[in-house]
Amino acid sequence: MIDVVLVGCGAMSKAWLDAIRQIHGLTLIGLVDLDADRARARAREYDLTNAVIGSNLDAVLDQTKPQAVFDVVVPAARREVAFSAFAHNCHLLTEKPLADSRENARAIVEAAHRAGRI
């Protein structure tokens, strides 16, 4: 099993959560959103009673220790999410565009290489 934390509980998170449900071997163990109430609402909607919910990604990653982070945040926030994921030894799956600028995209790729993560 691969334990996953999903970051960003806006409208796009529904498609990601639907996909996670269909993939054997993935277990969603955490939801993170700047608005913790929105994360709790999404957890209720998907009956994620055992998921750790929070607004602080580092705190949720410290508590859950997942193998992967699924990033569903706006491009301007992706660099911070990626760096947190790699700092916690997690792989990262994100949407396009990778970042809000070439500089941030390069920084994410370089951080992934340094961390030995994808």
Question: What is the tally of helices (H) and strands (E) in the chain?
Answer: 5, 5
The verdict on whether omega for the bond into residue 97 sits within 30 degrees of 0, i.e. cis, is yes
pLDDT tens for the chain, 118 residues long, are 999 999 999 999 999 999 999 999 999 999 999 999 999 999 999 999 999 999 999 999 999 999 999 999 999 999 999 999 999 999 999 999 999 999 999 999 999 999 999 8
Q: State the pLDDT at residue 97.
A: 97
Q: How many CB atoms lie within 10 A of CB 25?
A: 6
Question: Nearest CA to 33 among 63, 47, 15, 54?
Answer: 54
- Domains of the chain listed by start with CATH number: 2-115 (3.40.50.720)
Does the predicted model carry a pTM greater than 0.75? yes
Sheet-wide strand order for 2-7: 52-54, 26-32, 2-7, 68-71, 91-94
Q: State the pLDDT at residue 52.
A: 98
